[in-house]
Amino acid sequence: MKFCSSCGSQVEWRIPTGDDRERHVCGSCETIHYTNPRIITGCLPIYEDKVLLCKRAIEPRYGYWTLPAGFMENGETTAQGALRESWEEAKASIELHDLYTLFNLPYINQVYLFYRGTLNSLDFGPGVESLEVDLFKEQDIPWDELAFPVVRKTLEHYFHDRREGHYPIRTEDILFRPRRPL
Amino acid sequence: MKFCSSCGSQVEWRIPTGDDRERHVCGSCETIHYTNPRIITGCLPIYEDKVLLCKRAIEPRYGYWTLPAGFMENGETTAQGALRESWEEAKASIELHDLYTLFNLPYINQVYLFYRGTLNSLDFGPGVESLEVDLFKEQDIPWDELAFPVVRKTLEHYFHDRREGHYPIRTEDILFRPRRPL
């Protein structure tokens, strides 16, 4: 951030009066430009004993498998965002259940949320951000080709909790950028 | 938003190529300036059969009672933010437990999170954003003087769940600005 989005003047990086950390502050109109973490909201879509995954058609992690998820938009709820992303990436109609996992990724200022959901039908397919969409049994999950740690961890929790028969909220912090392979 | 924070030129409000909704887009350097919901993270601090509340020393809702909570900062986790706000607003040291409530407020692009927590000691007091900090038994909660619906709902859930002896994650959407009184 170099310029004030309110008046177009140059911004400074300094601690505003009464604050305790550096912010972008306009040198002219004094507007403080806060930046805050963003939410990525998504879904763990289940059909019988299978999980739906999408093969990414975009960077980062082109060609790797992921759960449908994306940046939460203004004006929607976390659940609406999860349903929207499931539609956009997998053309999947889903009945959403409880919030299931929450991951903090403070090194990139992101909070991931995944809801459990049930596929309403087998009528699904790749949206523009996906190369393929498919259903996987536990033994067929492409563990070595998953896009992100949050996807791996959500799947691991799910297969564990499915054996236990209940799905408590799972929260976890991922503090560093993962080395490859995950 | 009137000016591009990257190059200082004027921004337009239009649908970028390949997108499906209007964004602020720079007319000169083409940077798309996304805006997304913000997280407010906080705590429901418990001491024996009492709950800690803070009387607000700031607008909105000056003089009304609230749970310690505030905007999540870049570089921290949701739990770290809840602990930071508990310290800033109530000078309270807290042992945090599970995430307890999540509220969507899409009309103001906010997502509220509250963790349950236990006060480590009775050594607490008002920070600069609070007029008073006090502990309340259920029958003494100032229901008519609570600052926000998310505070009321979190307290209602808590006193209900305490009788049941378990605290499942509670998620709820608040779709409209509340009329007063709450």
Reported as a single tens digit per residue, the pLDDT across A127-155 is 999 999 999 999 999 999 999 999 999 99
CATH architecture observed for domain B38-173:
Alpha-Beta Complex (3.90)
Averaged pLDDT for residues A52-75: 97
Q: What is the ipTM of this complex?
A: 0.95
Q: Is the pLDDT of residue A172 over 90?
A: yes
Domain boundaries defined on chain A: 1-35, 38-172
Strand partners, A10: A3
Position A176 pLDDT exceeds 90: no
How do beta strands A170-173 and A94-105 pair?
parallel
pLDDT over 70 (residue B182): no
Taking Cα atoms as reference points, which of A47, A27, A40 lies closest to residue A109? A40
CB atoms within 10 A of CB B162: 13
pLDDT digits 0-9 by tens, B78-132: 999 999 999 999 999 999 999 999 999 999 999 999 999 999 999 999 999 999 9
Subunit contact A78:B171, Cβ cutoff 8 A: yes
Give me the pLDDT at residue B13, please: 97
Q: Which fold has domain B1-35?
A: Ubiquitin Ligase Nedd4; Chain: W; (2.20.70)
Q: Which of B26, B101, B171, B173 to mutate to test the interface with A (most CBs of A within 10 A)?
A: B171
DSSP state letters, B155-166: HHHHHHHHHHT-
* Residue A111 near residue A105, CB atoms below 8 Å: yes
pLDDT tens-digit series, residues B5-24:
999 999 999 999 989 999 99
Indicate the pLDDT class of residue B137, thresholds 50, 70 and 90: very high
pLDDT tops 70 at residue B181: no
pLDDT for the residue B179: 78
pLDDT (average), residues B138-156: 97
Check A33 against B173: CB less than 8 A apart. no
* Pairwise CB contact (< 8 Å): A75 & B171: no
Contact A3 B4 (CB under 8 A): yes
Chain B 100-139, CB below 8 Å of chain A: which residues? 102, 104, 106-107, 109, 111
Q: What is the pLDDT of residue A35?
A: 95
Return the pLDDT at A182. Answer: 67
* CB-based contact B91:B16 (threshold 8 Å): no
Say whether pLDDT at A181 is over 80. Answer: no
Dihedral sign from CA coordinates of B70, B128, B49, B138: negative
Cβ–Cβ of B72/A171 closer than 8 Å?
A: no
Cβ separation A3–B2 shorter than 8 A: no
Residue A74's φ and ψ, nearest 5 degrees, are -55, 145
Q: Which residues of B touch A36 (CB under 8 A)?
A: 38-39, 71-74
Question: Is A36 within 8 Å of B34 when comparing Cβ atoms?
Answer: no
The number of CA neighbours under 13 Å toward the Cβ of B81 is 27
Q: Is B69 on the interface with A (CB under 8 A)?
A: no
pLDDT above 80 for B180:
no
Residues of chain B neighbouring A75 (CB-CB closer than 8 A): 106-107, 109
Q: Token digits for B56?
A: 């607000």
Between CA A61 and CA A87 the distance in angstroms is 20
Residue A27 contacts B where some CB pair is shorter than 8 Å: no
- Could you give the CA distance from residue B104 to residue B100 in angstroms, rounded to a whole number? 14
Of A2, A73, A106, the CB nearest to B5: A2
Contact B171 A33 (CB under 8 A): no
Going by C-alpha positions, the residue among B54, B158, B56 that lies closest to residue B114 is B158
| Token pair for B25 | 């887009």
Q: For A158-162, which contacts have Cβ atoms below 8 Å and span 24 or more sequence positions?
A: A158/A44, A158/A51, A158/A100, A158/A116
Of A7, A71, A109, the CB nearest to B74: A109
Q: What is the pLDDT of residues B36-93, one digit of tens each?
A: 999 999 999 999 999 999 999 999 999 999 999 999 999 999 999 999 999 999 999 9
| Architecture per CATH, A38-172 | Alpha-Beta Complex (3.90)
Cβ–Cβ below 8 Å for B98 and A21: no
Of B36, B76, B77, the CB nearest to A72: B36
Instruction: Render pLDDT for A37-47 as a digit per residue (tens, 0 to 9).
Output: 999 999 999 99
Q: What is the pLDDT of residue A166?
A: 94
**Would you call A109 and B5 a contact, using CB atoms and an 8 Å cutoff?**
no
> Cα–Cα distance between B147 and B131 in angstroms, integer?
13
A171–B99 CB contact, under 8 Å: yes
pLDDT grade for A158, boundaries at 50, 70 and 90: very high
Q: Which chain A residue has its CA at the smallest distance from B175's CA?
A: A77
Mean pLDDT of chain B: 96
pLDDT value at residue B177: 85
Q: Does B95 touch chain A (CB under 8 A)?
A: no
How many helices (H) does chain B have, and how many strands (E)? Answer: 2, 11
